[in-house]
Amino acid sequence: MNIELADYDAAWPGLYQRERDRVLSVLPGAELEHVGSTSVPGLCAKPVIDLLLVVDDPDDEAAYVPALESAGYWVQVREDDWHLHRILKGPDTNVNLHVFGRGCAQVRRHLLFRDWLRANVEDRELYARTKRELAAREWERVQDYARAKSAVVLEILARAYVGSPLPSDVEYVTPSQVGNVRITLEDHNPDWPAWYAKQEARIRGALGSKVLRLEHVGSTSVPGLAAKPLIDIVLVVPDSADEDAYVPALVEAGYYLRLREPGWYAHRLLKDHGPEVNLHVYSPACEDVERMLVFRDLLRADADARAEYEAVKRELAARTWGRGQDYADAKTRVVERLILRGLESAEVRTCAGTPRG
């Protein structure tokens, strides 16, 4: 199979706009973006217009598919086991209309990659050069070509995530240790899951039905991985910014509010007065929740990723830090790369023969 790449065509934005108008005519107010290589001026691409549609629940097809069908679209792919991803084809233009749910990490991933390539000439040229080199080969399937691109995609995305962080104004509610902070790592303790189970019971007992999701994350949730003896927990509540709805009950249960990050998904962090616990609180449809779970699940399943992460942690833990957060920040590059590896591994798998841009 040959991969046919075309030089950038100034007509592509107009084709996107035509499809956008068509979608908005049946789904007024829809959240829709032009993504993929045809959305990047100056970049060669397969002549396929990739659109990204964000809906509340991709599985609720009755909320959007009939309307799109009335405009001539039809569902080609359903991936219920991967972000509930859907792909629809258009009535005339060669289109891939990708549907993801609100808060899905794939949404920001696509937009960040697009915006980074638009703004960074060197990475745009690197990506174009890689695509042309790979397109010159024979491929059994389009997915094999996409998989071959994954290394450079991950390289570029890692730079994009580190270079384009979300805004985060940290408000410390209680003081933190500053100066001469040492990081203590321990070999994996088989009792850590039991520690989490006790915390889970306390949180559910305090909040009841206000708990929408509760997960053990972080290094103590990964068998075989060295970690600080600290239990990281993700708690999803109806509105993390509405502290009155959950903080008093958690304080009564023995936790205290450590910090607020209004610009980082309205994140709240609570800690325990007893065992070391980081209780991260988010609202539903939050990308950061999925990214934490992708990271955890990759480390659980991939021994090489686990070894790579542990080696970095041990090297950094040998240093002395001004703040504990400085140690966490120093891990950002490897953490982002591994999260992206978890996301990318699903992105390039077989998808009913559908071409990817």
Instruction: Provide the edge-to-edge strand list for the sheet that holds 74-79.
Output: 31-35, 49-55, 95-101, 85-89, 74-79
pLDDT of residue 168: 78
pLDDT of residue 343: 86
Tell me the residue ranges of DSSP E strands in the chain.
Answer: 31-35, 49-55, 74-79, 85-89, 95-101, 171-172, 181-182, 213-217, 231-236, 255-261, 267-272, 277-282, 320-321
Domains 12-164 and 171-322 share a fold: yes
Q: What is the pLDDT of the chain when averaged over all its residues? A: 92
Q: Amino acid identity, residue 260?
A: R
For tokens 């933190």, the residue is 176
Of 281, 295, 226, which Cα lies nearest the Cα of 249? 281
Q: For the segment 181-194, what is each residue's pLDDT rounded down to a tens digit?
A: 788 999 999 999 99
**Any idea which fold 171-322 has?**
Beta Polymerase; domain 2 (3.30.460)
Contacts 24+ apart (CB under 8 A), 178-182: 178/322, 178/323, 179/322, 180/320, 181/320, 181/321, 181/322, 181/323, 181/324, 181/326, 181/327, 182/320, 182/321
- Mean per-residue pLDDT, 285-306: 96
* Per-residue pLDDT band at 178 (split at 50, 70, 90): low
Q: Is the pLDDT of residue 17 over 90?
A: yes
**Residues near 81 by Cβ (< 8 Å), separated by ≥ 6?**
none
Q: What is the DSSP letter of 189?
A: P
pLDDT of residue 274: 74
Q: What is the DSSP letter of 350?
A: -
**Residues near 247 by Cβ (< 8 Å), separated by ≥ 6?**
257, 268, 270
pLDDT of residue 348: 42
What is the architecture of the domain spanning 12-164? 2-Layer Sandwich (3.30)
- Mean per-residue pLDDT, 147-168: 90
pLDDT of residue 52: 98
Q: For the segment 230-278, what is each residue's pLDDT rounded down to a tens digit?
A: 999 999 999 999 999 999 999 999 999 999 999 999 999 999 977 799 9
Backbone angles phi, psi at 154, to 5 degrees: -65, -40
Give the percent of the chain with pLDDT over 90: 80
Q: Which residue has the higher pLDDT, 348 or 213?
A: 213
Q: Is the pLDDT of residue 357 over 70?
A: no
Tokens of 211: 């708990």
pLDDT of residue 136: 93
pTM for the whole thing? 0.87
Domain positions in the chain are 12-164, 171-322
77 to 57, 74, 221: CA distances (angstroms): 16, 9, 33
Evaluate whether 275 touches 196 at the Cβ level (below 8 Å): no
Instruction: Provide the edge-to-edge strand list for the sheet that holds 267-272.
Output: 171-172, 255-261, 267-272, 277-282, 231-236, 213-217
Tokens of 354: 């559908």
pLDDT of residue 175: 76
Q: For the segment 216-230, what is each residue's pLDDT rounded down to a tens digit?
A: 999 999 999 999 999
* 350 class by beta-carbon count within 10 Å (0-12 exposed, 13-18 middle, 19+ buried): exposed
**What is the secondary structure of 16-62 as a DSSP string?**
HHHHHHHHHHHSTT-EEEEESGGGSTT--B-S-EEEEEEES-TT-GG
How open is the CA angle 64-69-72, to the nearest 5 degrees? 135
pLDDT of residue 179: 62
* Per-residue pLDDT band at 97 (split at 50, 70, 90): very high
